[in-house]
């Protein structure tokens, strides 16, 4: 029944009476509020409009007549049952799905060849900025329209960043830009048309004991930062995390945070495995490749690749296929549907 989630049904006044009783039952313990794990039944009543996925108007009118003839408790049970069917409980993920080996030999050369071919082959054409850091302004995707309507938001993470040209350009176009750098002297600072924050992204939140000793935590997960700032989505997420990008990317995938991101710009460092990435060399490259394939499975498609000619040609401390030690990659979420206007209160 739940193939579509675009159908919203207006709740008429007599529905509110039944749902108010449902709230009382929930409060008294007859129904568990966690049964659906969804925002459909709220303490104190229900929204004026709530979603019943896949139910058309004719079906709902027939159901309305039946509801008037049954008991209060059955009404609430019915609503709860159908809401739960349309809001399945998501099982937490604890690890990514590794792709099959590139070959039966499981050699570094074969894994590197597959990986390097993947990161140097754009998957979609683009229109937009040029240079190492690039965004996609193709009208088929959302960013250009969000920029034109002054509703875009940008997060930029780095350490001691000297070049904020992309951020400045997007800010001048009307985007709300937040730059995060843990080396800043002040916790928060508004400079020109950008917000600067003494903070960085990590794949885990700091220990409560560490936070208790400091007024501000220097690193947090992206999900925590979004929650702290009251932001639901980010049009452009740019990050140069100096070899922490692999574990951060893994966290974004496992926690489903990428659903809140329109475009992802990352610098990948290949001269070593990266922080807390273990295993032999072929296994490391297979892990890298699997992470990027997870991005693709999440509807992120590569549109820009840039290798830094000033960087040494090192791939896991070796010269493998003349690969650079650093690549800047940009992906666009081709299925991203922003929820609305950014909140300008932060």
Would you list the domain boundaries of the chain? 8-86, 108-333
Residues above pLDDT 70, as percent of the chain: 67
Does domain 108-333 correspond to CATH entry 2.60.40?
Answer: no
List C-alpha distances in Å: 221 to 68, 229, 235, 290: 48, 12, 18, 21
Range with the lowest mean pLDDT among 171-185, 195-209, 221-235? Answer: 195-209
Phi and psi torsions of 98, nearest 5°: -75, 135
Q: What is the pLDDT of residue 277?
A: 96
The pLDDT of residue 6 is above 60: no
For residue 36, what pLDDT band results from cuts at 50, 70 and 90?
very low
Count of residues in the chain: 346
Q: How many CB atoms lie within 10 A of CB 78?
A: 15
The pLDDT of residue 150 is above 60: yes
The pLDDT of residue 288 is above 90: yes
Mean pLDDT of 268-273: 97
The pLDDT of residue 43 is above 50: no
Closest by CA position to 342, among listed 134, 165, 195, 124: 195
- What is the C-alpha to C-alpha distance for residues 291 and 251, in angstroms, rounded to an integer? 10
* Residue found under tokens 């639901």: 232
* Maximum mean pLDDT: which of 16-20, 27-31, 240-244: 240-244
Range with the lowest mean pLDDT among 24-38, 92-106, 136-150, 313-327? Answer: 24-38
Q: What is the pLDDT of residue 306?
A: 96
Residues above pLDDT 90, as percent of the chain: 55
Q: What is the pLDDT of residue 161?
A: 78
Q: What is the 3-state secondary structure (H, E, C) of 34-95?
A: CCCCCCCCECCECCCEEECCCCCHHHHHHHHHHHCCCCHHHHHHHHHHHHHHHCCCCCCCCC
Q: Considering the chain, what is the average pLDDT of its residues?
A: 77
Q: What is the pLDDT of residue 276?
A: 93
DSSP string, 233-302: -EEEEEE--TT-HHHHHHHHHHTTGGGGEEEEEEEEE-SS--TT--S-HHHHHHHHHHHHHHHHHTTEEE
* Residue found under tokens 């950014």: 342
For residue 214, what pLDDT band results from cuts at 50, 70 and 90?
low
For residue 62, what pLDDT band results from cuts at 50, 70 and 90?
low
Which residues have C-beta within 8 Å of that of residue 96, sequence separation ≥ 6?
250, 253, 254, 287, 290, 291, 294
């Amino acid at each position: 029944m739940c193939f579509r989630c675009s159908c919203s049904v207006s709740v008429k006044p007599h529905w509110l009476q039944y749902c108010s009783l449902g709230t009382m039952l929930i409060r008294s313990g007859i129904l568990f509020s966690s049964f659906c794990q969804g925002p459909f039944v709220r303490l104190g009543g229900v929204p004026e409009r709530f979603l019943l996925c896949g139910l058309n108007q004719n079906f709902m009118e027939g159901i309305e007549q039946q509801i008037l003839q049954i008991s209060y408790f059955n009404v609430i049970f019915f609503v709860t049952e159908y809401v739960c069917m349309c809001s399945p409980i998501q099982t937490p993920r604890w690890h990514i799905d590794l792709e099959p080996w590139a070959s039966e030999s499981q050699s570094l050369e074969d894994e590197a060849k597959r990986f390097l071919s993947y990161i140097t082959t754009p998957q979609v054409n683009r229109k937009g900025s040029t240079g190492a850091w690039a965004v996609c302004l193709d009208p088929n995707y959302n960013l250009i329209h969000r920029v034109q309507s002054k509703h875009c938001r940008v997060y930029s993470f780095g350490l001691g960043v000297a070049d904020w040209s992309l951020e400045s350009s997007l800010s001048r176009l009307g985007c709300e830009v937040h730059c995060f750098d843990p080396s800043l002297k002040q916790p928060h600072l508004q400079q020109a048309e950008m917000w600067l924050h003494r903070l960085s992204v990590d794949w885990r939140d700091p220990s409560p004991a560490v936070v208790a000793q400091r007024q501000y935590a220097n690193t947090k997960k992206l999900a925590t930062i979004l929650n702290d700032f009251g932001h639901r989505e980010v049009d452009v997420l740019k990050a140069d995390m100096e070899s922490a990008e692999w574990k951060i990317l893994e966290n974004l995938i496992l926690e489903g945070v990428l659903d809140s991101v329109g475009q992802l710009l990352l610098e990948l460092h290949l001269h070593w495995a990266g922080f807390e990435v273990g295993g032999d060399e072929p296994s490391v490259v297979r892990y890298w490749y699997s992470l990027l394939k997870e991005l693709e499975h999440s509807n992120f498609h590569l549109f820009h690749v840039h290798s830094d000619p000033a960087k040494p040609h090192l791939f896991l401390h070796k010269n493998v296929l003349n690969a650079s030690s650093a690549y800047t990659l940009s992906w666009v979420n081709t299925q991203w549907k922003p929820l609305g206007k950014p909140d300008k209160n932060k």
